[in-house]
Homo-oligomer: A and B are copies of this chain.
């Protein structure tokens, strides 16, 4: 069943039934102020850091699911309803939720009154703006009562739900005019407060939850709304909220706009107070003034739309397949940008508390958004590299607020350093900005020991070289990309986290074929970069190590039909036909085929055929198989999951593209495409009841064939899945690859595709590329013509600017 449709013209997904199989959400904000919003207006807001600066309270995994948000209650005679259906759940005459690029518009209609609620975070603004338009479609005068509602979080999202013996005594607010200020702890160490305002004179307010809601009422039936009047409560401790009460009269056909603003302010120490006990509201008032009319809001909204339109002009596909075009042109790019902003911190599956920015994650995310916001990619690279240690190792995560490495989880994930090479080379290839390599970048945030970024890359490369195991393969450390394959953990205590507990890496023989393949791929990128920079000696030095690795993989990493996954602590094979369970894994076969190791000997084809035979399913490629049915202490968390879920034979949409790219290396465009289509959400819209998560967003995982409900997705939005699928479809299937010297063209498509057009902005020029496939091939170039002139090779050279027409004809030469 479908719950909505794509509106490609407006770049919106339109939900027409509020009872989606799971909250289908959107994100507001892309700089400092962020909000999550579901199709029924649930969710929350935070400033920069979802753990330490949570502005509004949200309860995960509640009953009902998705409880709490920015709610409006409309009392029209005896009927109380909400524009987003929830929380009232009063049946609506009309409901529509339009999730667009960083905005959401929810429209509800009941008994002749419609409420259109537009939610967005204006550019360069620390606030969520909510424009509520009430319209009377009936023949009579309507007198309605409008209540707003949101609940303040007491800033730290973790202690907010744990430390009640303190929290229930600390809540403080101020009310001035139509603005409710939340100032809990502002008296002491905080230099920030939040506020919720409306641009109309109000007829009442509530700031104490129990007074507004009643102790025994749910969000669906606040007592004050039932009673039809605000209680004018002033919160002292307990749970502060913000609710405005407005009496609205609408003539037949008339409309009124109300602009609500949820904002955040920071004040310098000496500017905290207006007078004793009264907060300095200057900045809040300034922000409110910017959006105090519907016209100003509309203009800001226009600017936001223009901003996103421009972000999405870097790569525009016309393939003739709407499902593909809308993913490539809109939703996949959008997901990449959101993932860039949030890493893995806050979604409807990530509580915003547990995880900071990942070293590995952020580098991979970069390949999805670098063409959109190269200058922010540059900053991100510097931030990431600053958490590296002097020996090339690095913190696995860092906190977005402080940008410091996260001591809880520490380092020791031996794949981490290599991803920096991916991030940096992707950035330079896109921008041509080699100057980044000369930036002085600190180690562990200590500028006294800073070195040029290039040196960080060398250290990353050497970190693998310096940590080889008995077979000359990379030691795995705590884990490689698969955080749950914990070959040195040996955990028996259920109270400890596999990710943060001590590891027995000393004396371990655990080697990773995934890191081995990764090292070959990005080692070659490192070598290529060295050569471009004229550092031929370093290139030659590195080449020796890469060649050695290729040999080691061929000799010790090949299992006969596929690549091994690893050697364990004791030196036993993992991911081998010899194993009873977990005989074959995606990761090593992805990376070793991407690296084309043993291609001539047939290893790449054999490995990919084995993946197809043993891991492919109707819903995607499962991570490993057979699934682990018992806990294997020397494998760790992977074997803790029930079969078919997560790393234990779930379908990881993040690693499926590695196999797709491997297939393109063989020129098998049909196979690559088929894998792509299976997990691409726009193709899954019709099976939303099974798939469960948003049809416009990739999920991290889809339940595998061994699961109870194969095809059911989890953990949508924040995942390396976004970047890898975008990278794969644009660079390896559509085959348009940024390169140091220009735009490389190397498509690998299904044979029955007739062709496609791509408009690609690259280094100040716009390339209008038309690809034709008259011979029904998957791969191979007959000719490339640029502005009417055929070129040699497959790299379109960098042009001085302007628009350029490129004709690519595929075929057998």
Say if the beta carbon of A715 comes within 8 Å of chain B: yes
The answer to whether B188 and A631 touch across the interface, beta carbons within 8 angstroms, is yes
The answer to whether B494 and A185 touch across the interface, beta carbons within 8 angstroms, is yes
The answer to whether B86 and A642 touch across the interface, beta carbons within 8 angstroms, is no
A164 CB to nearest chain B CB (Å): 5
Say if the beta carbon of A156 comes within 8 Å of chain B: yes
A169's partner among B213, B492, B645 (CB-CB below 8 A) is B645
Minimum-distance CB pairs A-B, first 5? A236-B708, A188-B631, A169-B645, A188-B640, A189-B494
What is the interface of chain A, defined by CB distance below 8 A to chain B? 19, 21-22, 52, 59-65, 67-68, 86, 89, 151, 155-156, 158-159, 161-170, 172, 185, 187-190, 209-210, 213-220, 234, 236-237, 239, 276-277, 349-351, 353-354, 401, 491-495, 497, 629-631, 639-642, 645-646, 650, 700-701, 707-709, 714-715
Minimal Cβ-Cβ distance residue in B for A68: B63
A158 proximity list for chain B (CB < 8 A)? 162
Known: A65-B215, A163-B354, A239-B61. A493 touches B234 (CB 8 A): no
Cα(A353)–Cα(B59), bound, Å = 17
The answer to whether A715 and B165 touch across the interface, beta carbons within 8 angstroms, is yes
A165's partner among B19, B239, B349, B640 (CB-CB below 8 A) is B349
Cα(A61)–Cα(B351), bound, Å = 17
A220's partner among B218, B493, B645 (CB-CB below 8 A) is B218
A351's partner among B162, B495, B631 (CB-CB below 8 A) is B162
Known: A161-B60, A168-B714, A351-B161. A494 touches B190 (CB 8 A): yes
Number of copies: 2
A151 proximity list for chain B (CB < 8 A)? 63
**Given A185-B494, A189-B640, A237-B645, 19 further pairs, Cβ under 8 A:** A59-B59, A59-B63, A61-B161, A61-B164, A65-B210, A155-B494, A156-B495, A163-B351, A165-B349, A165-B714, A166-B646, A170-B642, A188-B494, A188-B631, A189-B493, A218-B220, A236-B642, A236-B709, A276-B629
Cα(A639)–Cα(B187), bound, Å = 9
Minimal Cβ-Cβ distance residue in B for A156: B495
Known: A89-B216, A187-B640. A164 touches B63 (CB 8 A): no
The answer to whether B65 and A164 touch across the interface, beta carbons within 8 angstroms, is no
A185 proximity list for chain B (CB < 8 A)? 494, 640
A162 proximity list for chain B (CB < 8 A)? 158, 351, 353-354
A492 CB to nearest chain B CB (Å): 6
Known: A218-B220, A277-B629. A495 touches B61 (CB 8 A): no
Minimal Cβ-Cβ distance residue in B for A215: B65
Minimal Cβ-Cβ distance residue in B for A86: B216
Minimal Cβ-Cβ distance residue in B for A642: B172
Known: A64-B217, A239-B61. A639 touches B188 (CB 8 A): yes
Cα(A630)–Cα(B185), bound, Å = 11
The answer to whether B165 and A350 touch across the interface, beta carbons within 8 angstroms, is yes
Cα(A63)–Cα(B215), bound, Å = 8
- A–B complex contacts, Cβ < 8 Å, 6 sampled: A62-B67, A86-B216, A155-B494, A158-B162, A190-B494, A234-B708
A189's partner among B188, B218, B491 (CB-CB below 8 A) is B491
A64's partner among B215, B237, B714 (CB-CB below 8 A) is B215
The answer to whether A164 and B64 touch across the interface, beta carbons within 8 angstroms, is no
Known: A89-B216, A188-B631. A67 touches B61 (CB 8 A): no
A239 proximity list for chain B (CB < 8 A)? 61
The answer to whether B495 and A216 touch across the interface, beta carbons within 8 angstroms, is no
A194 CB to nearest chain B CB (Å): 14
Cα(A805)–Cα(B38), bound, Å = 73
The answer to whether B495 and A52 touch across the interface, beta carbons within 8 angstroms, is yes
Minimal Cβ-Cβ distance residue in B for A23: B215
A216's partner among B19, B187, B213, B215 (CB-CB below 8 A) is B19
A714's partner among B52, B62, B169, B349 (CB-CB below 8 A) is B169
Cα(A62)–Cα(B161), bound, Å = 10
Cα(A349)–Cα(B188), bound, Å = 23
A187 proximity list for chain B (CB < 8 A)? 630-631, 640, 642
A353 proximity list for chain B (CB < 8 A)? 162
Minimal Cβ-Cβ distance residue in B for A700: B165
Cα(A188)–Cα(B636), bound, Å = 9
Minimal Cβ-Cβ distance residue in B for A214: B64
A159 proximity list for chain B (CB < 8 A)? 497
Cα(A661)–Cα(B646), bound, Å = 61
The answer to whether A349 and B164 touch across the interface, beta carbons within 8 angstroms, is yes
A701 proximity list for chain B (CB < 8 A)? 169
A65's partner among B188, B216, B351 (CB-CB below 8 A) is B216
Cα(A640)–Cα(B216), bound, Å = 31
Most buried by B among A59, A170, A216, A629: A216
A59 proximity list for chain B (CB < 8 A)? 59, 62-63
A635 CB to nearest chain B CB (Å): 10
Minimal Cβ-Cβ distance residue in B for A221: B64
Cα(A630)–Cα(B166), bound, Å = 17
A170 proximity list for chain B (CB < 8 A)? 640-642, 645
The answer to whether B169 and A642 touch across the interface, beta carbons within 8 angstroms, is yes
Cα(A481)–Cα(B373), bound, Å = 55
A22 proximity list for chain B (CB < 8 A)? 215
The answer to whether A64 and B166 touch across the interface, beta carbons within 8 angstroms, is no
The answer to whether B631 and A164 touch across the interface, beta carbons within 8 angstroms, is no
Minimal Cβ-Cβ distance residue in B for A714: B168
A694 CB to nearest chain B CB (Å): 15
A640 proximity list for chain B (CB < 8 A)? 170, 185, 187-189
Known: A155-B494, A631-B187, A640-B170. A215 touches B645 (CB 8 A): no
Cα(A52)–Cα(B151), bound, Å = 29
Cα(A642)–Cα(B86), bound, Å = 35
Cα(A172)–Cα(B631), bound, Å = 14
A200 CB to nearest chain B CB (Å): 27
Cα(A494)–Cα(B47), bound, Å = 15
A215 proximity list for chain B (CB < 8 A)? 19, 21-22, 64-65
Cα(A22)–Cα(B492), bound, Å = 41
Known: A218-B63, A631-B188. A237 touches B349 (CB 8 A): no
A155 CB to nearest chain B CB (Å): 7
A60 proximity list for chain B (CB < 8 A)? 161, 164
Cα(A82)–Cα(B190), bound, Å = 45
A110 CB to nearest chain B CB (Å): 18
A276 proximity list for chain B (CB < 8 A)? 629-630
Cα(A595)–Cα(B682), bound, Å = 77
Cα(A91)–Cα(B68), bound, Å = 26
The answer to whether A63 and B219 touch across the interface, beta carbons within 8 angstroms, is yes
The answer to whether A62 and B62 touch across the interface, beta carbons within 8 angstroms, is yes
Cα(A349)–Cα(B163), bound, Å = 8
Cα(A159)–Cα(B165), bound, Å = 20
The answer to whether A349 and B168 touch across the interface, beta carbons within 8 angstroms, is yes
Cα(A68)–Cα(B164), bound, Å = 18
A209 proximity list for chain B (CB < 8 A)? 63
Cα(A398)–Cα(B707), bound, Å = 41
A211 CB to nearest chain B CB (Å): 12
Minimal Cβ-Cβ distance residue in B for A57: B61
Most buried by B among A169, A497, A629, A709: A169
Cα(A215)–Cα(B401), bound, Å = 34
A89 proximity list for chain B (CB < 8 A)? 216
A254 CB to nearest chain B CB (Å): 33
Cα(A161)–Cα(B160), bound, Å = 12
Minimal Cβ-Cβ distance residue in B for A185: B494
Cα(A167)–Cα(B234), bound, Å = 38
The answer to whether B63 and A213 touch across the interface, beta carbons within 8 angstroms, is yes
